[in-house]
Amino acid sequence: MKPILDKILGMLLVFLMVVMVTAVSWQVFSRYILQASSSYTEEIARYLLIWIGILGAAYVSGQQQHLSIDILAPELKPENRIKLRIGINILIILFCLVVLVIGGSNLVYLNYLLGQTSAALNIPLGAVYMVMPISGVLVIIYKINELLNPKQYLV
C-alpha cells in the first residue's frame, strides 16, 4: 500500500507545484507585460503553497526524510534504537491525531459553519484548511506502516 500512496501523493504534489508555478508565471506576465494584474492568481498561489507545504511534510515523513536531530539514537544498541523509534512514532501519531486530524477537522467544520470564503476566489476556506486532517491521516498511515514493519523502517 505504501508504494501506491507514495506514487499518488508524489504525483499530486508535482501537479500542485505545476499549477502554482503556472499561476505565478501568469501573474508576472499579466502584471508586467499586459499591465493588467490578475486578481485571483495571488490567492491561488498562496493556497497551493499551503497545500504543497503541508502535504509535502506528510510525504517526506513517509519517506523518512523529515528533519530530525539524531543525538541519542546512534549511541544506542540496535534493539534499543528500535524501541526509541517506536516510541517516537507513537508520539508522532498522537500529535497528528490530536492536532492535525481532530484540530484540523474542527477548524474545517467551523469554517464551513461560519461560511467563510476567500476574498478573490470566493471558495470556502474550509476547503483550504482541509489539508490539515488529510495530511494528519497520511502521516498516521505512514507511521503505522513503520510500526508494523520495525525491522524495515526503524533500524
Tens digit of each residue's pLDDT (9 = 90 or more) over 109-124: 999 999 999 999 999 9
Range of the domain at 74: 2-153
Grid cell, residue 126, equals: 474550509
34 vs 1, which has greater pLDDT? 34
Instruction: Give the angle 68-72-78 at the CA atoms, nearest 5°.
Output: 105
Helices (H), the chain: 2-32, 41-62, 78-95, 104-114, 125-129, 131-148, 150-153
Judge whether 93 and 143 are in contact, CB under 8 Å. Answer: yes
The letter for the amino acid at 95 is F
Grid cell, residue 74, equals: 546512534
Mean pLDDT of the chain: 93
Tens digit of each residue's pLDDT (9 = 90 or more) over 79-114: 888 888 899 999 999 999 999 999 999 999 999 999
| CA atoms of 43 and 33, how far apart (whole Å) | 20
Return all residues near 61 (Cβ < 8 A) that are at least 6 apart.
Answer: 92, 138, 139, 142, 143
Domain count, the chain: 1
**pTM listed for this prediction:** 0.90
Tens digit of each residue's pLDDT (9 = 90 or more) over 28-41: 999 999 998 888 99
Residue 155's pLDDT band (cuts 50, 70, 90):
low
For residue 150, the model assigns a pLDDT of: 75
**What's the sign of the alpha-carbon dihedral 87, 92, 95, 98?**
negative
